[in-house]
């Protein structure tokens, strides 16, 4: 069991029969009462985010997640296929298990699959991915006080706000955590 004092961002715990990863941790001590802990937790399987408060004396069961290096192969409807880089076995995940990560998957992308008790539960994307711009309007600088931005559709189908100088065919780096444009790839 893990005590509340040992908790920190990124640790996986079991709670109510589900596996959660801590995304935010706040220790709150108010005047006379006992200390409390406010956690923001992301469900590993469904990617839903919840906030819960606990007493500082509570104990938590750790969840042991294994990371396997894989390569994304292709999708067939709602099923996504990955190849384990060590054993060359194919692993299949449903779209629900991947969540928002679908927006950044392109063939040949190397990433990690999280498993718990030999069951694939989610993916862990690299921090940045390089995507090709497939649709965007020409940018006209005009009367902008700052650089300005415009929408651009990338090869995976999502739309990202990019600077005005980005054109169709450009390769851009995108932050997979926030979905924001970072820079033009060289």
pLDDT digits (tens, 9 = 90+) for 49-100: 889 888 888 888 888 888 889 999 999 988 999 999 999 999 888 887 787 8
pLDDT at 111: 92
Break the chain into its structural domains and give their ranges.
2-62, 66-124, 129-184
- How high does pLDDT run on average in the chain? 85
- What are the backbone dihedrals phi and psi of residue 99, each rounded to the nearest 5 degrees, phi first? 70, -135
> 98: how many CB neighbours lie within 10 A of its CB?
22
Give tens-digit pLDDT for 28-48: 888 777 888 898 888 877 778
Please report the pLDDT score of residue 186 as a whole number. Answer: 67
Q: Which CATH class is domain 66-124?
A: mainly beta
State pTM to two decimals. 0.70
- Which residue from 120, 77, 85, 119 is spatially nearest to 102, judged by alpha carbons? 77
Per-residue pLDDT at 133: 93
- Over pLDDT 70: what percentage of the chain? 95
The owner of tokens 């299949």 is 92
Architecture of the CATH domain 2-62: Roll (2.30)
**CATH topology agreement for domains 66-124 and 129-184:** yes
Confidence of residue 110 (pLDDT cuts 50, 70, 90): very high
CATH entry, 129-184, from 2.40.50.140, 3.40.50.2000, 1.10.10.60, 3.40.30.10: 2.40.50.140
* Alpha-carbon Rg for the chain in angstroms: 20
pLDDT of 13: 87
Give the pLDDT score at 171. 93
**What average pLDDT score do residues 10-21 get?**
84
What is the average per-residue pLDDT within 14-24? 85
pLDDT of residue 158: 92
pLDDT at 170 over 70: yes
What is the phi/psi pair of residue 103, to 5°?
-65, -15
Distance CA 6, CA 94 (A): 33
Q: Helices (H), strands (E): how many in the chain? A: 1, 16
């Amino acid at each position: 069991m893990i005590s509340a004092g040992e908790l920190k961002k990124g640790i996986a715990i079991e709670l109510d029969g589900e596996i959660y990863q801590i995304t935010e941790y706040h220790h709150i001590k108010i005047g006379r009462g006992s200390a409390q802990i406010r956690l923001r937790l992301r469900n590993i399987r469904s990617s839903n985010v919840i906030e819960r408060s606990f007493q500082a004396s509570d104990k938590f069961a750790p969840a042991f997640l294994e990371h396997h290096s894989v390569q994304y192969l292709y999708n067939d409807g709602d099923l996504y296929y990955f190849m384990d880089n060590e054993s060359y076995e194919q692993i299949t995940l449903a779209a629900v298990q991947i969540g928002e990560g679908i927006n950044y998957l392109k063939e040949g992308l190397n990433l990690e699959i999280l498993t718990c008790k030999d069951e694939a539960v989610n993916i862990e994307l690299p921090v940045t991915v390089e995507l090709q711009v497939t649709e965007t309007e020409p940018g006209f600088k005009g009367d902008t006080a700052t650089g300005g931005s415009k929408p651009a559709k990338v090869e995976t189908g999502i739309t990202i706000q990019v600077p005005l100088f980005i054109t169709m065919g450009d390769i851009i780096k995108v932050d997979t955590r926030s979905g924001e444009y970072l820079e033009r790839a060289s």
